[in-house]
Each structure stands twice: as C-alpha cells, then as structure tokens.
Amino acid sequence: MDSKVLYILILSGILNVGYCGVIKDKTEDPNTLIDIDGYLEKYGYMESRPPFETEEEILNSDAYRKTAIRKFQSFAGLDATGILNDATIDAMRKPRCGVKDIQTPEEVAQADRPLNFYAPGYKWPSKTITWRASRPTRKLSEATQRYAFENAFKYWSDVTPLKFEYTYGEPDIDIQFAVRDHGDGRYNAFDGKGGVLAHAYYPTNGDTHFDDEESWVFRKNEGTDIETVAAHEFGHALGLGHSSEPKSLMAPFYQGFNPDFKLHEDDIRGIQSLYGTKDGEITTTHAPTTTSSGNDVTPVSPTVCNMKFDAMTLGPDGFTYVFRNKTVYRLNNTGVVATMLSRHVYPGAPRSPGAAVYMDNTKNTFIFKGRRIWRYTGFQLDADYPITITDSNYPTRIHAAIAFKSTGSTAQQIYLFNDNSFWEFNPNTNSIVPGFPLTISGFWRGIPAGIEAAIQWTDGDIYFFKGDKYRRFDADRRTLTKGYPKDKAPAWLGSVCGSAPK
C-alpha cells in the first residue's frame, strides 16, 4: 500500500467534516475524493499532522494507518482487521457528526479505548435550562419548529430531573439557522445543501446551529428530520460526547427519522451520569462495556474561583468585565453578578482575548488579540472592525492592557503589555507611539513579568493579575501598594469564592 497520504475515489461525493456537525455525503459531483488520513485525524484515530516541508515528512506508515483504521472499525462496530475494506469506506461515508470519536491522551486518559457513552465533564449548573430559537428557518413554520425542539428536549427530560423552558430573554441554549460562515470560525462554516447539517457546543455555551440550506422536514425521511438532528445536538449541548454503541442517539452517524425512536440505554446511562435519574440520583454503571472518562465534573464555584483572567475591562454600563475563553463575567463591587457568552455582550468578540480596555472619554471599548483589534461604541461593534494592525512595531502577543488616566486628568492613554515590555497604543491612528517598547520592570516597579490581565479601576489604582494573585499599584506614586500580592478570587469574584476586601 502506498504510504503517502491516502485518498479513496468514491462515487457519491466528498465527505465534509466540521466541528460537532452532522454530515451527509455530497452527491452533485460523481468523481470526488475522501481523504482517509484526514478523516482518521479529524475524528481522533490518528494524530494531526504538523506543517510539512518535505515529502518525507508527510508520510504516514502503513502500520500506523492500520492501527488507526482498526480503532475506527472497533468504534463503528466493524471487524477490527485494520484493512481498508468496502465496509470501512462505507462507514466513513455515512452521515455523521463532526466531533471527535476519540480524544487525545491529554484530553481523556483512555483515548485508545473508545467508550460507549462519553461525558467529557461539562454540565449545566442548574436543572432548569432555558432555550430559544432566536433565528428560525423559513422552511418550516415556527410552530412546527418549536414542537420539534420541545420533542427533542423531551427525550432527555424524560430520563433526568432536567427542565427545559422557553424564554424570550437570554437563553442557555440559543438555536439559530445560518448559512456558510456564520461567526463560528471558518472551520465551522456551513457548506451548503448536503454537507454539514448542524453543530452544537458543550455547556455552558450550548448554542446549537443548523445549516439553513438543508432540506429540513418534520418527521419524514424525504429530507433531513429536524427533530432527530436536534435531539442529537442537544445531547452535545447538555454535555455528552459520542457513543460507540451504534444504536445510540449519540452515535456519530445520522440515522434518519424513526417513528418508533426511543433513547438507547447507553444514552440514558450517559445523561444520568451527569444529571441523575428522574428522582435526582446520580447513576453509574458497572457494565464491562461502559467506563467513565476519568474526568470528574468540576463544580461551578471552584472552576470560577480558580480561573485565569484572559482580559479585564470596565464597561460602558459601570460594571467590570472579566473574559475567560468564550465567557464574560460581569462584576460589581461585591463580585460576580452575571455570566454570559462574551459574543452576546460584545458581538463578534474573539475567544480568549489577549486584553481589553474601555475609554470613558470616547465610550469605546477595545479588545485585542494578536494583531487584530475589535472596537465597540457602547456594546455595538463599530463598522469596519475588527481590523488587522500592520505596524511593524505593534506587539504580536498582548497579555494585558490598561486605559491609564492620571489624577485630575481627563485624557487616557492605552498601554499594552506582554511578558517583559509595554507599549503605548494610539487609538486615533491605530499605531504604536514612537519611543516604545519600554521594560515593565523599569517603569512599573514591583510588577512581575508575565502578567495576565490588568485594569485601572474606579478607585484610580491599577490592578495587575497573574495566576491566583493580584497586585495593587499606586498610579500617582508609581509604586506597589504594601500588603500585596493578594488572592484575586475572594476580592474580585465575591462570596462564591469567599469575600475579601480589595
């Protein structure tokens, strides 16, 4: 067998894969290709290949590929021969969800032994979960869609203490129909009719998106059944990964509409391992074919109290906002008062921003990540943003930023920080002020290298965050305040972490 990257010519079209997306084969072009190595990498059976410079570097050995094929066959319920036979190719062509079947060893301790049900460790903190179809499709009536979604949720609420409530406000699970690139990144873009059908995110995001170019139907097989796809994706939104049980709803392959469908016992064990039975008891199984992932579900409070601050800024509403991954935490003087998706507060905001600042004289918020900048007026993204900075003096890795104002002054200056240096950024020209960078140690005495977030707060002092500690800096005297560093969580996140004065 040729040991180069392997492609198999098929008749029914190229297999498209996307994050947590249910997939169908394309049929428009009768002569297209499946990238077998790419498929095995995408779904966790082989390690992803790094960028290559020579042909030698792109070779995957026959033995390595055979092991990966054997793993896939085992997961798909086929004879685990390691031989790429017709049955294996047919299994790879099946409509399916694009989330990994096997996590890497760093993600799951038992990566080389696919589980039946798999719960990665994400769950909702409340047993009442709100939902809303904020952007429905026009291919079915809104009443039909609501009925389909209610039915899809009911599969899960029938076997757990979970309650799903429709809301006209900000939902936990936001359902949207969209096309092509819809703001989830280019690798998660929909690809038109016959490709990725839908995708969903784990808690506590939960957003579920459907490709609006599909032929959506309700309880039919002459198209794509919205209830069946929604029930699978809601499983992900509740915290379930894929199952190696082929009859399970959470198996990776789309199974079409079945009028007699019921949750498989494997689906039930999986969801009850997260939320308990209808009576609220958490269940486990001792069946030899089902094992836990080894990842304990972390309670919400410790997760918040131990989190890294990606960025921190005051907001135009007077609250303080802390960014972490896709989430933003709204803080007042006593601690956290709300937790939201950052893109629901700052539309289009990037995941894990490097820094953020608010300019109270212009009412602009700037979010920095790499060479890109997002600018908001109030909470609305300004036209033509985000922009990419081409100034060669601009730092490519920004860890923190402050909008600095001297006592008695109305002017503000934006300072950007990385490990050991800082720069002044001119927001009018989107460029670095001449004379920078300067060293942090030379100007901000007592502040360590590698700070992770910073803010000039409402009391006029500047606060620098690193790890689980923070330091208070007297802006006028340019000195570190005595008694610091202190633990950041009690002082900033409030009673959930044990309140303490700043």
Catalytic residues: 233
Give residue 86's identity as a one-letter amino acid code.
Answer: D
Q: How far apart are the first and last CA of the chain?
A: 66
Alpha-carbon span 299 to 341, nearest angstrom: 19
What are the CA-CA distances from residue 223 to residues 24, 176, 228, 285 (Å)? 11, 19, 12, 37
Alpha-carbon span 155 to 264, nearest angstrom: 10
**474 known member of a binding site:** no
**267 known member of a binding site:** no
**236 known member of a binding site:** yes
Strand pairing report for 479-480 and 453-456: unpaired
**245 known member of a binding site:** no
469 backbone φψ class: left, alpha, beta (φ>0; ψ -120 to 50)? beta
Three-state secondary structure of 81-150: CCCCCHHHHHHHCCCEECCCCCCCCCCCCCCCCCCCCCCCCCCCCCCEEEEEEEECCCCCCHHHHHHHHH
Q: Crossing angle of helices 265-275/226-238, nearest 10°?
A: 40
3-class secondary structure, 375:
strand
**80 known member of a binding site:** no
Running DSSP on this structure, what letter comes out for residue 313?
A: E
Nearest to 175 by CA among 133, 144, 203, 235: 133
Alpha-carbon span 265 to 116, nearest angstrom: 11
**399 known member of a binding site:** no
**212 known member of a binding site:** yes
Burial of 101 (0-12, 13-18, 19+ CB in 10 A): buried
Alpha-carbon span 216 to 18, nearest angstrom: 19
**344 known member of a binding site:** no
**242 known member of a binding site:** yes
What are the CA-CA distances from residue 256 to residues 21, 66, 77, 416 (Å)? 15, 30, 19, 52
What's the alpha-carbon Rg for the chain, to the nearest Å?
A: 25
Give residue 286's identity as a one-letter amino acid code.
Answer: H
Angle at 115 between CA 155 and CA 301, to 5 degrees: 70
Alpha-carbon span 199 to 234, nearest angstrom: 10
Q: How many CB atoms lie within 10 A of CB 126?
A: 12
Question: Six-digit token pair at 306?
Answer: 């131990």
**356 known member of a binding site:** yes
**211 known member of a binding site:** yes
**191 known member of a binding site:** yes
Burial of 442 (0-12, 13-18, 19+ CB in 10 A): exposed
Q: Which residues are annotated as a binding site?
A: 97, 172, 182, 184, 191-192, 199, 207, 209, 211-212, 214, 232, 236, 242, 250, 310, 356, 401
Q: Which residues are annotated as a binding site for Ca(2+)?
A: 172, 191-192, 207, 211-212, 214, 310, 356, 401
Q: Which residues are annotated as a binding site for Zn(2+)?
A: 97, 182, 184, 199, 209, 232, 236, 242, 250
